């Protein structure tokens, strides 16, 4: 069983994050700039988790991880757990697990923030809900076929509509 809890990760995107945890990994958005997909298909291609590529998967071994007071855990940085192609059951399993650790904080980032609304009643208050928005120009995404993710304008509107105290946007 492969376990990927990574504490004090020095290649992290956000300097406030103390650990990354990947109960759900993989993505089908096929973003041309995706560092996680590149890593999975190169350095990690011989690992059990990525032997069949970057397809979404639920990593059962990850649910043995425990979190402590002061942890700020970036959840599923090697995928997009709120994408439409991720089963709701997987998302709920992750949210149920983190509910056991009210003294830790959990950061979620997605390119599909409208999906937060679907599970909002189940999201623990110690969660930070985030979205990645690369540009204010939808045409760049559409014309250049940069990504199959929802358009940046859709993500922006979803984050505006999201009634949550702890939310962020990464540009």
Q: Residue 143: what pLDDT?
A: 81
pLDDT confidence band for 1 (50 / 70 / 90): very low
Residue 10: what pLDDT? 42
Highest mean pLDDT among 11-15, 28-32, 34-38, 87-91: 87-91
Phi, psi of 41 (to 5 degrees): -90, -5
Rg of the chain (C-alpha set)? 15
pLDDT digits (tens, 9 = 90+) for 94-108: 999 999 999 999 999
Mean pLDDT of 76-99: 98
pLDDT at 88 over 80: yes
Return the pLDDT at 16: 85
The mean predicted confidence, pLDDT, of the chain is 91
> pLDDT per residue over 39-78, tens digit each?
999 999 999 899 889 999 999 999 999 999 999 999 999 9
Residue 13 pLDDT level (bands cut at 50, 70, 90): low
Strand pairing class (57-58; 24-25): antiparallel
pTM for the structure as a whole: 0.90
Give the residue-averaged pLDDT of 111-135: 97
The average pLDDT across 21-36 equals 95
Residues in the chain: 171
Q: Are the CB atoms for 5 and 62 separated by under 8 Å?
A: yes
DSSP characters over the chain: -----EET-TT-SSTT--EEE-SEEB-SS--TT-HHHHHHHTTTTTSTTTTT-S--EE-GGGGG----TT-EEEETTTB-TTSTTS-HHHHHHHHHHHTT-TTSEEEEEES-THHHHHHGGGS-TTEEEEEE---S-HHHHHHHT--SSPPHHHHHHHHHH---SSEEEE-
Please name every residue paired with 130 in a beta bridge, in sequence order, or none if there are none: 109, 168
């Amino acid at each position: 069983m492969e376990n990927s809890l990574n504490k004090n990760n020095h290649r992290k995107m956000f300097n406030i994050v103390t650990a990354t945890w990947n109960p759900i990994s993989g993505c089908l958005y096929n973003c041309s700039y995706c560092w996680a997909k590149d890593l999975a298909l190169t350095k990690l291609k011989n690992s059990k988790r990525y032997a069949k590529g970057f397809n979404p998967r639920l990593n059962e071994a990850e649910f043995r991880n425990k979190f402590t007071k002061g942890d700020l855990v970036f959840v599923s940085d090697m995928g997009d757990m709120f994408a439409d192609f991720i089963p709701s059951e997987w998302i709920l399993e992750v949210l149920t697990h983190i509910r056991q650790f009210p003294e830790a904080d959990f950061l979620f980032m997605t390119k599909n923030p409208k999906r937060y609304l679907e599970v909002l009643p189940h999201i623990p208050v110690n969660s930070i809900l985030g979205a990645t928005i690369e540009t204010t120009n939808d045409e760049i995404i559409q014309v250049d076929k940069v990504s199959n993710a929802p358009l940046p304008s859709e993500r922006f509107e979803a984050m505006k509509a999201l009634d949550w105290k702890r939310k962020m946007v990464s540009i």
